[in-house]
């Protein structure tokens, strides 16, 4: 599948809160080119996760249009959105949401099996991905027997098993120690650069935001460009050994 451009037009999303309604996204526009890696930053509660959920088709906007790889999510019903997501979108969250009763290998291969197709081919792709992430000796470990960084690597491997055209990551390194977070972030950047995978991620970490192609700040329901260096100096890609990652 090709890497996807993403376009949002005039997105509105609010939630009921008692008798009132909190308007979170208010006429938000977004354009991300295929192969771009964009960081969404902003204070807690501004709506970063809300936006990523809409992009993933996990929730629907009150108004406005989301188009991914030329396909309008609003024209899809819930089942079509779910098929579209499973085939084309990789999701990584702060907490990995691995299935505790399954091994690392089973967790990674699951989205492929859900899609149907050849079981053994899915298995060998999952093994390849886990090897690439340095987890070749952890295939049969259950999540409880993996470190936090290993669990997050399994989650990233799982997000890539169906060769997505878009990777959405919500605080992907939020619960990791600084060193592991840098390594995991380096893998994401490397994937983006080597395979041209479109990446949109929410992060509170200005250093990580600073090595993305573009930073957008979510404020008062809309996105505004933010210069790298303004609250997050660009540390240079070498700091994360981006090119060495995944080799």
Ligand X SMILES: Nc1ncnc2c1ncn2[C@@H]1O[C@H](COP(=O)(O)OP(=O)(O)OP(=O)(O)O)[C@@H](O)[C@H]1O
Binding footprint of ligand X on the chain (CB under 6 A): 15, 22, 24, 42, 44-50
Rounded to an integer, what distance in angstroms lies between the CA atom of residue 70 and that of residue 31? 12
Q: How far is the CB of 63 from ligand X (least distance, A)?
A: 16
Rounded to an integer, what distance in angstroms lies between the CA atom of residue 117 and that of residue 127? 17
Q: How far is the CB of 241 from ligand X (least distance, A)?
A: 27
Q: Are 212 and 39 in contact (CB under 8 A)?
A: yes
Which residue spans within 62-165 are E strands per DSSP? 63-68, 71-72, 89-92
Q: Look at residue 22 and give the partner it binds from ligand X, Mg ion, none, a contact being a CB closer than 5 to 8 Å depending on partner kind.
A: ligand X
Q: How far is the CB of 110 from ligand X (least distance, A)?
A: 25
Q: Which is nearer to Mg ion, 58 or 76 (CB)?
A: 58
Q: How far is the CB of 44 from ligand X (least distance, A)?
A: 3
CA distances from 8 to 65, 107, 177, 195 (A): 6, 31, 33, 24
Contacts of 229 (CB under 8 A, 6+ apart): 210
Q: How far is the CB of 99 from Mg ion (least distance, A)?
A: 22
Tokens for 13, please give them.
């999303």
Could you list the residues that contact Mg ion (CB under 5 A)? 48-49
Q: Look at residue 169 and give the partner it binds from ligand X, Mg ion, none, a contact being a CB closer than 5 to 8 Å depending on partner kind.
A: none
Half-sphere exposure of 110 (CA within 13 A, CB side): 18
Contacts of 118 (CB under 8 A, 6+ apart): none
Rounded to an integer, what distance in angstroms lies between the CA atom of residue 50 and that of residue 194? 29
Q: How far is the CB of 202 from Mg ion (least distance, A)?
A: 6
Q: Which is nearer to Mg ion, 48 or 138 (CB)?
A: 48
Q: Which is nearer to ligand X, 3 or 217 (CB)?
A: 217
Q: Which is nearer to ligand X, 231 or 236 (CB)?
A: 231
Q: Look at residue 50 and give the partner it binds from Mg ion, ligand X, none, a contact being a CB closer than 5 to 8 Å depending on partner kind.
A: ligand X
Q: Which is nearer to ligand X, 48 or 96 (CB)?
A: 48
Tokens for 133, please give them.
């992430």
Q: Which is nearer to Mg ion, 49 or 173 (CB)?
A: 49
Q: Look at residue 206 and give the partner it binds from ligand X, Mg ion, none, a contact being a CB closer than 5 to 8 Å depending on partner kind.
A: none
């Amino acid at each position: 599948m090709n890497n996807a451009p993403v376009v949002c037009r005039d997105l509105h999303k609010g939630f009921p809160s008692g008798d009132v309604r909190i308007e979170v996204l208010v006429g938000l526009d977004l354009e991300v080119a295929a192969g771009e890696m964009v960081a969404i930053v902003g204070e807690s509660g501004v709506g970063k996760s809300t936006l990523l959920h809409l992009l993933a088709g996990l929730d629907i906007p009150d108004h406005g249009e989301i188009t991914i790889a030329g396909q309008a999510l609003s024209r899809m019903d819930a089942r079509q959105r779910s098929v579209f997501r499973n085939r084309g979108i990789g999701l990584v969250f702060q907490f990995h949401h691995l299935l505790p009763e399954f091994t690392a290998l089973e967790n990674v291969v699951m989205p492929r099996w859900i899609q149907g197709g050849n079981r053994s081919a899915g298995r060998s792709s999952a093994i390849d991905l886990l090897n690439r992430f340095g987890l070749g000796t952890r295939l049969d470990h259950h999540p409880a027997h993996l470190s936090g960084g290993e669990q997050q690597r399994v989650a990233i491997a799982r997000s890539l098993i169906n060769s997505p055209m878009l990777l959405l990551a919500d605080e992907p390194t939020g619960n990791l120690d600084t060193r592991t977070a840098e390594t995991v972030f380096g893998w994401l950047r490397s994937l983006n650069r080597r395979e041209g995978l479109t990446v949109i991620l929410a992060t509170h970490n200005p250093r990580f935001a600073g090595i993305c192609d573009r930073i957008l700040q979510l404020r008062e329901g809309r996105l505004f460009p933010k210069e790298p260096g303004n609250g997050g100096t660009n540390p240079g890609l070498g700091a994360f050994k981006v090119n060495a990652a995944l080799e």
